[in-house]
Amino acid sequence: MLKYILKRLGLAVIILLGVSVIIYALVRAMPVDFVENKINQMNQGGATISQDVIDAMYQMYGITDRTFLGVLSGYWSWLTALCRFDLGKSFVYGDDVLKVIVEHMGVSFLVSFIAIIFEYLIAIPLGITAATHQYSVRDYVVTVLVMIGLSLPSFFFGRVLQNVFSMGLGWFPVSGLTDATQHFTGLAAVGDYLSHLALPLFTMVILSIGGTMRYTRTNMLEVLNSDYIRTARAKGLKESKVIYKHAFRNTMIPIVTILAGVLPTLFSGAMITEQVFDLPGIGNVAYKAMMQGDIPFIMGYNMFLAILSVLGVLISDLMYAVVDPRVKLAR
């Protein structure tokens, strides 16, 4: 096991190195220029910016040399700083990128963690019942829910919920994480947080359960048609025991694959949903930085996601051996 983990970690380093090259090349090729945007804003305010000031701004942000050798030098400087856990200083937020990520990661983690719990609690039982009652009314209902979850864009569904439940009925706040006009403490503060998170959580859960339900239903149908399931039924075992002890246990093996994407989902934030509901999470912060051409933050944020993705795949592989003892990891 230890040898397998060390081998995978060594492979992960190579993968992350390749990802860093791709991220740096794509970011440096972005059409958005932070300095140019800043100069345009100053010009719109009536200020006249000289070329010396423009050159000084490019020099200050470290993006002066746009030649091939200059890009290579910039990449090497960024990579060596990355190895020291120095992601640079954000153009937009004026602070260390790592500090900005850590400060806003908590909100995204809380929302994503609660959403994932509800997703699995709802999607897996619905997928099982759809598979055990194939072509029944409940199967068709689950299929409709799957289509809704896979088809609706998050920004559209979020706006619909805002218009109906916030602006129309007034049941929930429109946006934000807290009520800026009030200062709550104790249980009142918790209630305020929950009321602001209700619609974002509902949006994320409804739009994410479709894929998990379909995945569970498909794998359950495959397992239920296996020979050992027919044998278990022929032996007179209860249907509930056949489904949940024998069939579902083997269905867990493919479902574990989904765990590879859970880790980056927990910490990366739901960019569009956070932007729609104006939540101060890392996804919303990254979106604003991307729109303004914040090169250090974009590179640091994407490397952060790449590291989480690689770790998620490694954890998923290790979980195979936990779910199914027959799985032997390569030595």
Residue 208 lies in a domain: yes
- Give the pTM: 0.73
The overall longest dimension of the chain from CA atoms, in Å, is 87
**Which residues make Cβ contacts (< 8 Å) with residue 92, sequence separation at least 6?**
34, 288, 289, 292, 294, 297
CATH number assigned to the domain comprising residue 185: 1.10.3720.10
Per-residue pLDDT, 124: 83
Closest by CA position to 156, among listed 195, 207, 119, 197? 207
Cα 45 to chain center, whole Å?
A: 38
- DSSP structural state of residue 260: G
The residue whose two tokens read 């999607």 is 123
Residue range of the domain that includes 158: 97-218+254-323
Residue 48 lies in a domain: no
d(CA 178, CA 195): 9
Domain count, the chain: 1
pLDDT score of 259: 67
| Residue located via tokens 């990366």 | 268
pLDDT the model gives residue 127: 83
Across the chain, which has 331 residues, the per-10-residue mean pLDDT values are 74 85 78 67 66 65 64 78 80 82 84 84 84 81 78 82 83 76 72 81 82 80 79 79 75 69 71 81 83 79 85 75 59 50
Q: Could you tell me if residue 313 is inside a domain?
A: yes
Residue 11, domain member (yes or no): no
Q: Do the Cβ atoms of 255 and 320 come closer than 8 Å?
A: no
Residue 185 domain flag: yes
The phi and psi torsions of 41 (rounded to 5 degrees) equal: -65, -40
Number of helices (H), then strands (E), belonging to the chain: the values are 15, 0
Strand partners, 89: 96
